[in-house]
Structure 1
């Protein structure tokens, strides 16, 4: 196993996102890091992500009638030092025939500002041939379900190389390259003593960087993990809960998915200047990389909630993988804000009774939305603002994305125009007042019993029901 670096300690790191939108088919979501002082690395990662997205889009268009078409890229830091950075991209996709993953690791040598594919960790062609021979021998061992015959001295086959805490060279293969996808991740660890003669100068730097990231059981970090995991924490709530009675005020909940991103801080500035509160459904991976914006959200009266770890369609996952997506995000967010998220927004809004039941077991209410800004489908902030204002009603839960710059640019207009209509901006649970929100309940919009469909107070003759009551599995 590769021991990955905590991204929150890397100065100047942001998370970039490329997504098709929650209502798009097929589902496509990709995240990758950008680092301020490594522009060439950033360009390479963006190029790689776009190439993979384009390829999947072509494949998916040929199989438009197949179910569960989904594409997802998440990332980890294989190493990060003052000399070298390694970014591992995990690329998953499904077009009707089950989920498969590929892996590629891009390296950046800070000493000469070079971006390198993994094969460049080796010093020359003979070194690549020697590595291929070692890997073939190891794959030909007791794991008969793998095939060593497919291993050639091809740089494209050795596109995901890294190091474990012992300094062993780890060679990762894509699903179906040396064995069936049902095997899961297949990797070979070449002992450090055998690997060292094969390494280039960059490879040696990468190996040294990996040796510095050890987090074995018994270390301080591991002990803190165990201690924190057993410490009870209160459920997450806005520090201003109770300051607005949504049975009397015209309330609307602005919600933002997928962050925190590069523009989340600016969004918080805009919301703060207008004294508006919002609910942020944060991805666990992004929260782990950039914890400070989440702490600021809580200080300023917003609410932080769970949007899973890596933005997978939960309805396509097994129960244990759903649980992993929820638990990893719960832990990352809880460790950051000191409170336990009580709300879950499933990616793409995709949910069912099974997901609601698993969420209930973790104390999570499932939140969808009643108004979709469709912000990811346009680069024009005016269009985004117009859609939000047009769809806003008392009790509305409005879907937006804080990782998308045009959405942040649209925020001042959204706030101004909805204020003019008499709206107050609250977090999602405040829409329900004393009714509260039940773990496992599914919520699309808030209670609007005091308001008619035109956004004005009901007269005594109005009999309109609430926009949405919670449903339970």
Structure 2
């Protein structure tokens, strides 16, 4: 049995989540109310019918690293449209920013999300939009609400009754900020909708106002948020706001100590159910790997792989894994391997150790909860790794996997071109980089599988490339290339 190495990691994750003002979701209601009133719960996305994930993933373009995800909910198309507009507007501002192409560290734009509430009456989506342009990382927070009764998508100020309520709320919040000390400037707060674009509720129903970094305080102040007691907030709320408050109280629960401890119990190591059926020292093996999912195209890709009796390695984002655990279970059941691609696709090389560990540990937890197995591989976003990434990966028990063949599918809408490039570049032992979020990539899969099969290739998961040579935690692997029996004979 493989020991799930989460003892310190889960505690570290819990501390990080508290620092971000977010608590993990749980199906149980046995958790205590948090002592920090600005903690915002979020709902388990896998419990919301019709929810899928969308991505604006430009990869690495002109020196900028971009990854953004947001949810799409089938019966709330106007919410999906508003989220897309919000993310696109922020991305456009980022890409227009005058940053030298050779700036170090590379400029980065990243968006992840949580469900602030979900009920038959209302939905709330909290976007965390982060960016770095070489002068440090900063985050903005926006919470968008959807009223199912009126079928309207609203910015957070829409939770308030009117302009007078906004002015009253601003006065309450300003008084609270005045008690926070020199790192916070209450005079920067104005009763303007743009300053109140992230409003949610804690499990008690208290209204929580979050501010962007540096909006009302110095950068070192970190996240600044104020909780307004439920009884005080209620008269300020619109009909939608009251529905949102009810939804937050009814559906929000925290991960209990029992749930967290369960994650540290023994779990088997993630392993293909077909591992051991191919000897890659004799066969021409190739490992197809897909990252950034699971997403809307993943199920179709699994159908195609199944039809060709091919297996692959899926480096899944933790945030997407939590939304689509059924797809991860299908991967496991059909002989594929599920691995870690971090929680939200941050460049790990620029993160401090605590945040780096949080990115990996949260994804490990989400994937393990979905498949009942512990990932033993991780792929760093953008393929960027260093000694610190290696050290933390070693402590978590995961090997670092990059690639030897890039299908260059991120920006190519032509499946035929993706297939031609991939087929031409594959050699025995290759690790191929692709993305299961892209429609064209999945369209290219039949040709890739058909042509490489005709060339005598067998499709295996990454660890199978190395046969009896166990992959080592913390070590970086770019290719599993090793000579076949025939090649050994020709070399002797």
Change in Cα spacing, 1:422 to 1:23, as seen in structure 2 (3 Å) is farther
Map of 1:458 onto structure 2: 487
- How many residues in Structure 1 have an aligned counterpart in Structure 2? 453
- Aligned counterpart for 1:384 among listed residues 418, 425, 431: 418
Q: What is the 5 A alignment of 1:56-455?
A: 56-59=94-97, 61-68=98-105, 69-216=107-254, 222=256, 224-450=258-484
Distance in 2 between the 1:428 and 1:149 partners?
Answer: 56
- 2: CA distance between counterparts of 1:335 and 1:214? 19
Kept in 2: contact 1:132–1:153 (CA 8 A):
yes
Unaligned runs of 5+ in 2: 1-38
Of 428-437 and 23-32, deviating more is: 23-32
1:237-262, Cα deviation, whole Å (9 max, x unpaired): 00000000001110000000011101
Equivalent in the alignment of 2:42: 4
The TM-score, its normalising length taken from structure 2, stands at: 0.90
> Structure 1 residue aligned with 2:92, among 42, 54, 72?
54
Quick one: distance in 2 between partners of 1:322 and 1:189?
A: 29
Residue 230 of structure 1: CA displacement?
Answer: 3.0
How many angstroms apart in 2 are the aligned matches of 1:419 and 1:250? Answer: 10
Describe the superposition over 1:122-148 as per-residue Cα deviations: whole angstroms up to 9, x where unpaired: 010100000111111110114331001
Q: Distance in 2 between matches of 1:230 and 1:100?
A: 33
Contact 2:99 2:133 (8 Å CA) reproduced: no
Residue in structure 2 matched with residue 19 of structure 1 by the alignment:
57
Confirm or deny: 8 A CA contact 2:43 2:252 kept in the other structure: no
Deviations 1:5-45 (A, max 9, x none): 11110001001111112576211000000001111111111
Partner of 2:226: helix, strand, or coil?
strand
Is the 2:117–2:252 Cα contact (8 Å) retained in structure 1? Answer: no
CA contact (8 A) 2:157 2:196 kept: yes
Find the counterpart in structure 2 of residue 31 from structure 1: 69
Structure-1 separation of matches of 2:85 and 2:421: 32
Q: Which runs of 5+ in 1 are unaligned?
A: 452-456, 464-473
> SS at the partner of 1:434?
coil
**Is the 1:90–1:102 Cα contact (8 Å) retained in structure 2?**
yes
Deviations 1:255-288 (Å, cap 9, x if unpaired)?
0001110111111000001000000000111111
Deviations, residues 129-179 of structure 1 (Å, cap 9, x unaligned): 001111111101143310011111100110000000111110000001001
Work out whether residues 3 and 213 of structure 1, in 8 Å CA contact, stay in contact via their aligned partners in 2. no
